[in-house]
Each structure stands twice: as structure tokens, then as C-alpha cells.
């Protein structure tokens, strides 16, 4: 069967649980007291004015996470210089523990329907480290991985979406893009893709919407 559709996923927040959801795991891994990490992003906006500033385009997402990295590094008495240092310390031992089961289910359904798979990320290796994905066997199922860590073309730049569409060699209208940042959804729609604004608080619903668009419900 020739694949004529594609499921295109952002990585952080969509394939993995957010760092907000895994504070307890992070605190345990880093030896911090429970409740030390109080910023909750989209799960508790009043706890995180910095996240609100990012959502309002007052600061870029990379600046948000650079600030959180510095804060947690100081709490741990470390001198981390990148987000990947933070993520490796918090999640590096068992990356599979933070993968969304809903993501794996949807990816498997798409594969069985001969749908192409792609990752379109702004900071896959920048945030997670190049060895993170090597510990996740399902990453081998992806036909295309576009990572702005290397291309330096960040969503919602139209070139990021076009690079993914070209690599998939599938019409944009037959690609369903899933991302948890609304600005990136707007970029995908402008590129002619179908899109689902991923709700980190309702991952199953969001993935079902994507599969419905691919007619794979």
C-alpha cells in the first residue's frame, strides 16, 4: 500500500509528557524536596507568569526554558549550560517513563494504516540531547525527523513546514500536524496542512481528533 497521508507530530508535550506533569519525577531524580518545583505552565497559569509571558509572545519558548534551567540548576548546585543538561538529569535514566501512552497508541494505529510518520520539532536534540531518542525504539518508525536544533528554522516559519512536507513527498492537505503551541498550529494551517491544537490536559481527545482527520478512527 502506498502511503498518501502523514501524521506529523511535535515532540515535547505531544509525544512526551510535559515537564510540568512530571515535577514529582524530576524532584525525585534531582534529590529535591516534594513541591519544590511550583511552576505549572498551562496546568495552573496563576503559578507561572513567565509561561503566560511566553504565550503572549513577550519572550520566546527557548528563553522560558533557559530561565527554568538556570533556576533548577541553582537549586541543585549545578552549573547546567543548556536545557538538555536539565532534561538529561531529570529524565535521562528512563526516557520511556515520560512518553505518552496515547502517543504510542496513535503512532501504532497510523503505522498499521500505512500512514507516514514525521516529527517536526523546534528543539528535539537541543532540549533532550542527541542520545535521548536513541533510547526510544519507536523513533525508528518515523520516516522524517525535522529538528530546528540543526536546521535553525523554527516553527512557525513557513520553511519549517515546507521542509517536512517536501521530505514526506505528500500533499500538504493530506498531512495532519499536531502541536501544543497555538502559534505553530497557525503556521501549519497557513502551509496548507490540517492541524490539531494538542491539549496537554486531554491527550486522548487530541490524538483522536488527529486520527479522525486521517480517517482512522
pLDDT digits (tens, 9 = 90+) for 104-128: 999 999 999 999 999 999 999 999 9
Which domains, and CATH codes, for the chain? 6-16+99-213 (3.40.50.1000), 23-95 (no CATH)
In angstroms, rounded to a whole number, what is the distance separating the alpha carbons of residues 66 and 57? 16
Helix residue ranges per DSSP H, the chain:
23-30, 49-55, 61-76, 83-91, 101-112, 124-128, 148-151, 158-168, 182-190, 203-213
Contacts of 168 (CB under 8 A, 6+ apart): 6, 8, 116, 118, 143, 144, 175
Distances (CA, A) of 85 to 39, 95, 106, 131: 19, 14, 30, 12
What pTM did the predictor assign? 0.92
Instruction: Compute the radius of gyration of the chain from its Cα atoms.
Output: 17
Q: Report cis status (omega within 30 of 0) of the bond before 104.
A: no
Position 2 scores a pLDDT of: 58
Position 103 scores a pLDDT of: 98
**DSSP string computed for 18-61:** -TTTTHHHHHHHHTPPTT-----GGG-GGG-HHHHHHHTTSS-H
Residue owning grid cell 523513533: 139
In angstroms, rounded to a whole number, what is the distance separating the alpha carbons of residues 211 and 33? 40
Residue owning grid cell 504565550: 55
Strands 175-179 and 194-197: parallel
The list of the chain residues with pLDDT below 50 reads 1, 217
Amino acid at each position: 500500500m502506498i502511503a498518501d497521508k502523514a501524521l506529523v507530530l511535535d515532540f515535547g508535550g505531544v509525544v512526551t509528557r510535559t515537564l510540568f506533569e512530571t515535577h514529582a519525577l524530576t524532584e525525585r531524580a534531582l534529590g529535591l524536596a516534594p513541591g519544590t518545583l511550583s511552576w505549572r505552565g498551562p496546568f495552573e497559569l496563576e503559578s507561572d507568569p513567565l509561561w503566560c509571558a511566553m504565550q503572549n509572545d513577550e519572550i520566546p519558548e527557548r528563553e522560558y526554558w533557559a530561565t527554568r534551567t538556570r533556576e533548577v540548576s541553582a537549586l541543585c548546585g549545578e552549573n547546567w549550560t543548556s536545557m538538555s543538561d536539565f532534561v538529561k538529569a531529570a529524565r535521562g535514566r528512563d526516557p520511556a517513563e515520560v512518553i505518552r501512552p496515547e502517543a504510542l497508541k496513535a503512532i501504532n494505529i497510523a503505522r498499521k494504516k500505512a500512514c507516514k510518520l514525521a516529527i517536526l520539532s523546534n528543539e528535539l536534540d537541543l532540549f533532550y540531547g542527541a542520545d535521548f531518542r536513541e533510547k526510544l525504539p519507536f523513533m525508528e518508525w518515523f520516516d522524517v525527523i525535522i529538528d530546528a536544533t540543526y536546521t535553525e528554522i523554527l516553527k512557525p516559519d513557513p520553511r519549517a513546514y515546507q521542509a517536512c512536507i517536501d521530505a514526506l513527498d505528500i500533499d500538504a492537505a493530506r498531512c495532519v500536524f499536531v502541536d501544543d503551541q497555538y502559534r505553530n498550529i497557525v503556521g501549519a494551517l497557513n502551509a496548507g496542512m490540517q492541524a490539531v491544537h494538542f491539549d496537554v490536559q486531554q491527550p486522548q481527545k487530541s490524538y483522536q481528533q488527529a486520527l479522525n482527520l486521517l480517517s482512522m478512527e
